[in-house]
Amino acid sequence: MVTSIVFPLWQYWAHWADLEWHLRRVALGRVVILAVSVDGLVGLRHATLLLTRLGSLLAPHLPPQSCWVWVFVKGGRTLTETALTTSRGTHQVHLLLPLIDTLLPATHARMYPGRNAALEDVRWRYCSRHGVMGGLCDEHSPDPLPPPPTARVAQQSVLARVPVVVTAGTRQPYLYHTLTTILTAPGVEPQNVLVVLGDESQSTVQLLLLLQVAHVMLPAGGATNEQLFRFYRDVFQLVVQRFPDAPYVIILDEDVEVSPDFFSFMSQTLPLLQTDPSLSCVTGHAAEGFLGLAHDNTRAFRGSLQVEWGYGVTLDFVREALSLWKTTGQITLLYDFWLYINVQKDRECIFPEVSRTRHFGMGVNTDSYLKEKGPVLMPLVHQAPVALQNVHRLRLDKWQEDLARNISRATTLQGSPCLDSFLPTPPFSPSYVFYYRLTKAECCDGMPEPYQYSNAVRCLGLWWLSEQGHHRGVTVARFASNATLFLVGCPYSPYCRLRPTGLLLWDIDALTEEEFEYLKTYSPRGSTSVTIANEHANPDSINAMLSEI
């Protein structure tokens, strides 16, 4: 059976990572056919290194407008490789490729004595039709089926009646990876895991039977965002109907990898949702953990944040959302942003400094540029369990008390955040505070002015396309392992009362024309310039390269 996946490599950002992710999960001995046509391979980028290690001669040398075909055996040899250095013209490749099954499923089952022979037979019949499943179909060291029991965590009782709902479609490589990270994480209650399928697929059902994971089919009508919006509304309805007495529910998508510490983190933080009405969710996704600002596994924060990837909410929150969920009218918003605007409102989310989840997949609503700038680079906590610091201090009253004290004790920074000398290197104080002008947005009730916020933070290398993650106008940035920066927007934030008398606010609207022009061309800290590999390659340079081999 042939597995076909399309990677839009005419886009420069992120799709190289998805190609690489899939290539690493192709089973050894499988025949791989890579064909690049129409728009060339400008987005091949870092995947070139893996392709070279796999045996490609041409991949590292082709110009971005090339058409290219490479047929090879994973872990074996090249069968054919050919290219045109321009996308103009016709590119034809002819290859006679007789295929046989070297090992039948029954033979595989006999290779692993002591395992469930019937389950192994089902596994290898499944693997004979799917070649991009990583350890599931690794003939030399296959993943155990079902996944073995994991260790318990200290607050295991919190998770006892908490359903873990994984929404999924037909992307089986994604789903298998996600479920593997879930089922092998300490603290998981396997009987609580439920996969909700939005698309009917016998192969996906067979995969879930192999993993012994419960599933339910919940097809939704519509297309693209409309379909997704209806689907997640129906998932919320299913949760209420199926788990009416659950204290919380944890919801993940099929392309969200979890850290080994995911359930430990959830078990320590979920109880806050019952005792603090100013909170609406706990998310395992770090608000800005992909920007080199994640240093301490034991720290968690609270802030204005949508549910993100891999989150927990109370059943009361689910019921509240359902009471507001519209079945007619405008339903094409992203459902998580709709929750943020219409249901969460002024309530905040708990999130870790170092992420417990990573969104690795590419989908309908995935902007490739934003994906590479964010989730692709997200570091994860790899050990478990991790005891969090002062979880009880995340309650609103304690958090406000601590934040006010820390801001008042911090060293005040002045000047332009766009200057390289703005942040002390190395830091000479454990904490700094920077006050800048920030008002309420005219368009959105209670939200900060995005133009002012984005220009204040982008020079510091923070995420400038969304203000989410701040607590009442204060953004906390750990710019070094031993130094914290508090950015306080005035007069928006109530913490402006701590500003020293007479201290001027940095104001984007007060910049001179020369300063503003500099800001527009400034490259934020941590950013990299775009370079196109082999931009000037041509047939002569490629022939010269091949003649030297």
Query: Per-residue pLDDT tens for 435-474?
Result: 999 988 876 667 788 888 888 888 787 876 677 778 899 9
pLDDT tens digits, one per residue of 406-444? 999 999 998 888 777 888 888 888 999 999 999 888 766
HEC letters along 182-237? HHCCCCCCHHHEEEEECCCCHHHHHHHHHHCCEEEECCCCCCHHHHHHHHHHHHHH
pLDDT at 90 over 80: no
Cα(182)–Cα(159) distance, rounded to whole angstroms? 13
- Specify the pLDDT at position 114: 61
Which has more pLDDT, 112 or 271? Answer: 271
Cα(542)–Cα(536) distance, rounded to whole angstroms? 11
pLDDT at 192 over 90: yes
Tokens of 115: 């395992």
pLDDT at 392 over 90: yes
CA distances from 513 to 459, 518, 520 (A): 17, 9, 11
Out of 21-25, 139-143, 381-385, 538-542, pick the least confident: 538-542
Categorize the per-residue pLDDT at 104 as very low, low, confident or very high, splitting at 50, 70 and 90: low
CA angle 242, 243, 246 (to 5 degrees): 175
pLDDT at 117 over 90: no
Cβ-contact 185, 177 below 8 angstroms: no
- Percentage of the chain lying above the pLDDT 90 cut: 46
Q: What is the pLDDT of the chain when averaged over all its residues? A: 85
pLDDT tens digits, one per residue of 315-340? 999 999 999 886 544 555 688 888 88
Long-range contacts of 402-406 (CB under 8 A, 24+ apart): 403/471, 403/474, 403/486, 403/495, 404/495, 404/498, 406/431, 406/484, 406/486
Torsion sign (Cα): 154, 156, 162, 168:
positive
Hey, what amino acid is at 13?
A: W
Tell me which residue of 9, 3, 8 sits closest to 25, measured CA to CA: 3
Q: DSSP label at 5?
A: -
Q: Which position has the token pair 């904490």?
A: 431
Helix (H, G, I), strand (E, B), or coil: what is residue 261? Answer: coil
- Specify the pLDDT at position 334: 81
Residues 158-175 have a mean pLDDT of: 94
E runs forming strands in 339-453: 348-352, 357-359, 411-413, 431-438
